[in-house]
Amino acid sequence: MKTITFITGTRADYGKIKSLILELQKKKNKFKTNLIITGMHNIRKYGFTKDEIDKDKIRNCYRFNNQSKNATMDIILSNTIKGINNFVSKNHTDLIVVHGDRVESLAGAITGCLNNIKVAHIEGGEISGTIDEVIRHSISKLSHLHFVTNKIAKKRLLQMGETDKNIFTIGSPDVDIILKKKLPNLSIVKKRYNINFKNYAICIFHPVTTELKKIEYQIKSLLRAIIKSNFDYIVLLPNNDLGNEIILNRVLNLKKKKYKNFKILPSMRFEYYLSLLKNSHFIIGNSSSGIMEAPYYGVPTIDLGSRQKNRAQINSVISINDYSKISNLVDKFKAKKHKFKPLQYFGNGNSHKRFLSILNQKRIWSIKNQKQFIQLNLK
């Protein structure tokens, strides 16, 4: 039996690994799964999303807090390494599985690599316009197995000197949930979260840590435009990256002023969020959800700034850097629902099945912990 330890620190990365964990739990004679829950999951202002994980009946969960108020990302990284090390030093682990580009994932990769534990990275090889990209590539270099969304991501990992036979194209695991025929009924979702809007858009705006001096202007411009639009918005709070307090203060001020056309939520259960997204007029902000999830439903995305720069070229995604132009696009998409042709850029589902099939290969478990850089022929 192989023991596999997953790590989650945010609502987003949990949505990416959930189907993988549940699939392995079905094979309890072959695999034991652990889930380390830390980061935003354990913080009240982000909705205590650890409670949502409990509802999914994930077995063998281990929780610890990795941050205090105003902790910087380097301190959070350090605290997370300590917390993960504390777990793996007491609990045998054959493989650590991390996702994406968060510091919790980087901490997991560092801990595994320095303790001779194999590391698997979900969704490496993606690019963006922020420090997230640097973190993502660092995780890839610390990882032994790579589970990517598409051929383009695989090519980038090959450019980084990774071994071809250890890169597997399985698609994005959250697509397994996106393509479910039975998402929660929209009326049930609205009732659960007390949403009284008929027509609405979704707004999610995260801080870009390398643009701290611009965040105040960015969030003010965004909120000014959507207030002016006189349309209804479901606003999800930002992640906990440096600069998030600036955004939080501005968004929560909407609540204080009792704007009736804004429903502000710290977080949502992923399937419920997808039901809202699927039925929305558009999504606006800089969340990867506008790039990776909205196109599967043909929902337009107004993508702001540099956070998702170069992520993917998709017709339904309108990217702008000039915040003064937000109002024109909002007016266009609020008038009526514009449905684009759905595009499956990041896979077509069944990632969990492909993941299981790969872990069932004996070769995987004999891969050497000492990696070698694979030199490309650059002539």
Residue 377 domain-assigned?
Answer: no
Residue 322 domain-assigned?
Answer: yes
Q: Model confidence over 20-65: pLDDT tens digits?
A: 999 999 998 999 999 999 999 999 888 888 988 988 989 999 999 9
**How large is the average pLDDT for residues 256-281?**
94
CATH number at residue 283: 3.40.50.2000
Q: For residue 178, how many C-alpha atoms fall within 13 Å in the half-sphere facing its CB?
A: 28
pLDDT for residue 135: 97
Would you call 122 helix, strand, or coil by DSSP?
A: strand
Residues 16 and 104 occupy one common structural domain: yes
Residue 170 domain-assigned?
Answer: yes
Residues 153 and 26 occupy one common structural domain: yes
Q: Identify the burial level of 183 via C-beta atoms within 10 angstroms of its C-beta, where 0-12 means exposed, 13-18 middle and 19 or more buried.
A: buried
Residues 128 and 270 occupy one common structural domain: no
DSSP letter for 46, please. Answer: G
Number of domains observed in the structure of the chain: 2
pTM, full prediction: 0.93
Q: Model confidence over 210-245: pLDDT tens digits?
A: 999 999 999 999 999 999 999 999 999 999 898 999
- State the residue range of the domain holding 228: 186-335
Residues 264 and 323 occupy one common structural domain: yes
Residue 227 domain-assigned?
Answer: yes
Residues 223 and 352 occupy one common structural domain: no
Average pLDDT, the chain: 95
Query: DSSP secondary structure string, 219-286?
Result: HHHHHHHHHHHT--EEEEPP-SSTTHHHHHHHHHHHHHTT-TTEEEES---HHHHHHHHHTSS-EEES
Select from 308, 304, 299, 306 the least CA-distant residue to 333: 299
Residue 343 domain-assigned?
Answer: no
